[in-house]
Structure 1
Amino acid sequence: MQDRQGLASRVFPSDHPVDLPPVLLLHGIASDGENDWVAPGTVAALNDAGRTAIVVDLRAHGASPASTSAEEAGAPAQARDILAALDAEGVETFDVAGYSLGARLAWAVAEAAPERVRRAVLGGLSPVEPFTMVDIAALHRAVAEGTQPEDPFTGMIAGMVGSRGPERAPGLALVVEGLAGSPFDPKGWPGQTPPVFVVGQDDMMTNGIERIVGLVDGAELLTVPGDHFGALTGAEFRGIVVRALSR
């Protein structure tokens, strides 16, 4: 673990390592590394394939502290936090698999340090920044006062943020605000090799992902069973992560 101000990270080495860099795993919003990567078996599958996995909890998630401002919770700042966590573990080059928010931040990490990202799997990536549609003031009121937002989408986000408990909710609301202020607007993949995109066949949040895939020459788009939540935990997704990052 890093100190309290840094991100919490865990390293899972393989008992029979291969000569490939470690795999960074980035979870989704209002989740954590344990629920998205350890419990579904992705870490174990990577270890079985000889890979070391590094599981990071994002700001205000899991064992990591919250930011103190929306700017510190924006995508560029979170990318710097993630790279600092890897620096603390002595990792230079790495592969990355991210899901939903984790995929969005994997892109930001590649923008910040393209020479360090070898291969990537981006699962459940929204082609637009959904948090720009949130009424941020109403979200903060909902967290602080329990006031139900009039806007249904903001209400849904408030419910998701609030579901993590009163201690976590303010920090998660700052994450939403920070991401809304640094919306996803990719111009092209900056990493060393084109990423593999993975979507659930029933995942409405990834509608239009073909536009993002089309920005990257040589990128693959693969479909697995499940909706936005089910696709992540399926064996098909785990298999793609292992195979795509083993090339």
Structure 2
Amino acid sequence: MQPSTSPKPNLAPTPIVAAKKFRLSHRVAAFHWVAPEPTKHPVLLLHGFATSSAMNWVMTGWINPLLEAGHSVLAFDLPGHGDSGTPEDLEPYNRHALIGYINQLITTVGANKVHILGYSFGSRLGWQYCVEHPERVVSLGLGGTSPKDRLAMMRLDQVDAYLEDQSPITDPLTKSLMTIAETDPSKLAARLKLIRAAQRWPYDPETDVPDVPIVAVTGEKDQIAQDSPVMIEIAAANGHPNEFHWVPGRDHINVTSSRLFKDKIIEFFRRHDGRQK
């Protein structure tokens, strides 16, 4: 969730099947890639703040390996992100709405249970969904995750002053997140609504632990998520065979294109796919 000088990953090959595109509530854009030979539960991908399904997952090469492993793939763009609309009200950005989009997407494609893979803010959303709806989830993958809620730590008073009269933002985290939010000025207001909604949504992973197997993968150079192993320590309370993996040489921006990241997640999903059908 911060600017990086790391080289941008090369564009990934076009997915072997085209996505079926449709709309969920509040003009949220959803995508469904159907595996040529589906043998496993679908995988639902949840992107991070100020990115999109295309940026986080398609361009970094996730779709084809998942399809080839027998998973159909689901994804949607958060409100104010990617191909989704930019609702004016706060309600479409709140916790209940985001959880609702996931339920609506799973139901629309007729899935029984799914694996979930979230990145950064998507990890937070995936964790919360699994807390509320473990019956719909086979296993959970977390990328670039942290027990700290960085969107909740953003100083919106400084953001408001900056937008009003260009007052400097002095808090480093807030300045970093604001730089990212401004990468698409047409969606800045919507992205700030997502942050405002997140700050009204208490996130305390130590209090609520999902009752599903969990794997977390983080880049060794990720300065945002160096505390991500704590999430697996917390998850030990669920009694499942949870796992944590570092990806050498990668940071918060470029870890998603790593083949090791993909291999660890896909292998974990494979081992847990035999749970309740």
State the distance in 1 between where 2:95 and 2:247 align. 27
Q: How big is the shift at 1:43? A: 0.7
8 Å CA contact 2:91, 2:97 repeated in 1: yes
How far apart are residue 6 of structure 1 and its match?
A: 4.2
Equivalent residue for 1:221? 244
Separation (CA, whole Å) in 2 of partners of 1:234 and 1:11? 23
The 3 A distance-change label for structure 1 pair 127 and 3 is: closer
Question: How many pairs does the alignment contain?
Answer: 244
The aligned residue for residue 127 of structure 1 is: 147
Offset, 1:151: 2.7
User: Compared with structure 1, are the counterparts of its residues 90 and 144 closer, same or farther at alpha carbon in structure 2 (3 Å cutoff)?
Assistant: farther
Aligned to 2:124: 104
Letter in 1 for 2:64: A
SS of structure 2 residue aligned to 1:125: coil
Aligned to 1:207: 226
1:181 correspondence with 2:200: yes
1:171 corresponds to 2:195: no
Conserved in 2, the CA contact under 8 Å of 1:7 and 1:82? no
Corresponding position: 1:245 with 2:266 = no
Shift of 1:183: 3.5
SS of alignment partner, residue 5 of structure 1? helix
Aligned equivalents of 1:4 and 1:143: distance in 2?
30
Amino acid at match of 1:34: A
The answer to whether the aligner puts 1:86 opposite 2:110 as a matched pair is no
Q: Distance in 2 between matches of 1:118 and 1:22?
A: 10
Question: Which segment is superposed worse, 105-114 or 151-160?
Answer: 151-160
CA 1:6–1:190: 2 relative to 1, 3 Å: farther
Give how far 1:178 is off. Answer: 1.4
CA distance in 2, matches of 1:204, 1:10: 31
Is 1:153 the counterpart of 2:173 in the alignment?
yes
> Residues of 1 paired with 2:140 and 2:172: CA distance?
34
Q: Among residues 51, 66, 78, which one is paired with 1:58 in the alignment?
A: 78
Supply the distance in 2 between the matched residues of 1:140 and 1:85 (Cα, whole angstroms): 34
User: Is 2:146–2:231's contact at 8 Å kept on the other side of the alignment?
Assistant: no
* 1:21 pairs with 2:41: yes
After TM superposition, where is structure 1 displaced by more than 4 Å over at least 4 residues in a row? 143-147
102-111 or 150-159, which deviates more: 150-159
Identity %: 25
CA distance in 2: counterparts of 1:79 and 1:238, whole angstroms? 25
Q: Secondary structure at the match of 1:107?
A: helix
Distance 1:241 1:69, change over 3 A: same
Displacement of 1:85 in angstroms is 2.3
Q: Distance in 1 between matches of 2:213 and 2:229?
A: 14
Query: AA paired with 2:216?
Result: F
What RMSD, in angstroms, separates the aligned Cα atoms of the two structures?
Answer: 2.0
TM-score w.r.t. the length of structure 2 is: 0.81
Q: Cα deviations across residues 80-115 of structure 1 (Å, max 9, x unaligned)?
A: 222222222222311111111111110111122110
Give the TM-score normalised by the residue count of structure 1.
Answer: 0.90
Aligned residue for 1:206, secondary structure, equals coil
Aligned pair 1:231/2:231, yes or no?
no
Q: Aligned partners of 1:146, 1:8: CA distance in 2, in Å?
A: 33
Which 5+ residue runs of structure 2 have no aligned equivalent? 1-21, 272-277
Paired AA for residue 43 in structure 2: V
